[in-house]
Structure 1
């Protein structure tokens, strides 16, 4: 294979059989259960990197079922998103979410999410199921239970406009790729948006959330002090590509 062929062919690893296809990635009937809880604000500030700013003491714990996603298949994801504020170089103030931790059960979106956007994804075993009148989410890391979440099933309809507005907010994460000598070669703050959103239904209800300590699954480092609210909604979306908004290696 010639050098020019490598350049033309290279998209993702492995060179001759990439772990995922090229974007865009579309998701149909994506099911979200989001439990918002109050935590220790000092611990939040220790987790969130500048130039993002923590805006309170809340964390959104999410379970997401993705039964039909182009390129990535059928999988489940869970993790924590922290509400933040970002001031652009022009002075515009954006509110959104800092993606702190993600755990999922499918290799392709782990590899693609980490390599393209910088999603902080790890391999684990999350589940989201309907048990009679209750939505039940669990996360096992190996054999160890790390999260249990329950929510009342469709107790009342949510404000669709408010849910849609929240889905349109930007999300932020840090993309890190090491150099061959072990130092950081890429360390960037990335912003992305959900696109082509078709919200099919949204509900609210009571919820409970328990987080358990694990050395490799650190969700309990942001402890649950009080559950504030819970949302359950279903939508079709396109996962928008990211943009670099801060390069930590240039400052």
Structure 2
């Protein structure tokens, strides 16, 4: 393989059989269960990276389970995780704290392209008679169970669509060949071309079980605040770097050296 050909094909690994195709990535009939709960602000303070900020007086976490039956390049899969409402330079959005899913393609693409904190596990989202049920199993162990009354009341579509279109933030870390960080960035992305097909709310409950490698329970459920069930078509937009930690550190080091030289 000549160098020119290599560079033309080098968008993902392995180069001869990439784990995922090039984007854009369109999702049809995405289904969400989102349970928002209040947690311990000290626990949030330990995991939300600067310069993101969260509301100390209303420390919230969103437990999300997302069913994706028709996804360009990725197929049919489900994911779950925790998203923390934050602000970045005065703009409201969500910080993806952890994600678990059952499909290798979007795990590789999510980590390599955007910096999604994705790990392999087995989430599910299904309707059991009159209840919407979202679960997460890590190996043989049940880590999370979220339940919501099925379509008890319609939710405001405009408000739901606006929440999907808010900016989202990710901490992207890619190591160098010596194990040191080569990329350490705060990435912003958005969901685009959203077609909201329905939104509902109802009573909800959430149970999290401690697990060493899937530590959702480290952000404990103190009170369930709200729940929403959504169906939508959308495109996962590519990201942009909004804060480069390594460049900031290098800049501070240079400034520090210059200051000491002057002194």
Q: Tell me whether the two structures share a fold, i.e. TM-score over 0.5.
A: yes
- State which drifts further: 221-230 or 5-14: 5-14
1:126 shift after superposition = 0.2
Unaligned runs of 5+ in 1: 88-92
Q: Secondary structure at the match of 1:249?
A: helix
1:58-73 alignment to 2 at 5 Å? 58-73=60-75
Residue 37 of structure 1: aligned partner? 37
For residues 164 and 7 of structure 2, what CA distance do their matches in structure 1 show? Answer: 36
Higher relative helix content: 2
1:46 shift after superposition = 1.0
Q: Does 1:47 align with 2:47?
A: yes
Return the TM-score normalized by structure 2. 0.93
Deviation above 6 Å: which 4+ runs of structure 1? none
1:200 shift after superposition = 0.4
For residues 216 and 12 of structure 2, what CA distance do their matches in structure 1 show? Answer: 30
1:236 shift after superposition = 0.2
Match 2:147 to one of 146, 150, 169: 150
Q: Does 1:236 align with 2:228?
A: no
Match 2:180 to one of 172, 183, 202: 183
Unaligned runs of 5+ in 2: 249-263
1:1-251 alignment to 2 at 5 Å? 1-55=1-55, 56-87=58-89, 93-251=90-248
1:8 shift after superposition = 1.4
For residues 70 and 212 of structure 2, what CA distance do their matches in structure 1 show? Answer: 32
Q: CA RMSD in A?
A: 0.6
Cα distance per residue 1:35-60 (max 9 Å; x no partner): 00000011111110011001231000
Instruction: Work out the number of aligned pairs and report it.
Output: 246
For residues 145 and 111 of structure 1, what CA distance do their matches in structure 2 show? Answer: 24
For residues 4 and 69 of structure 1, what CA distance do their matches in structure 2 show? Answer: 31
Residue 90 of structure 1: aligned partner? none
For residues 119 and 81 of structure 2, what CA distance do their matches in structure 1 show? Answer: 10
Q: Secondary structure at the match of 1:16?
A: coil
For residues 53 and 164 of structure 1, what CA distance do their matches in structure 2 show? Answer: 23
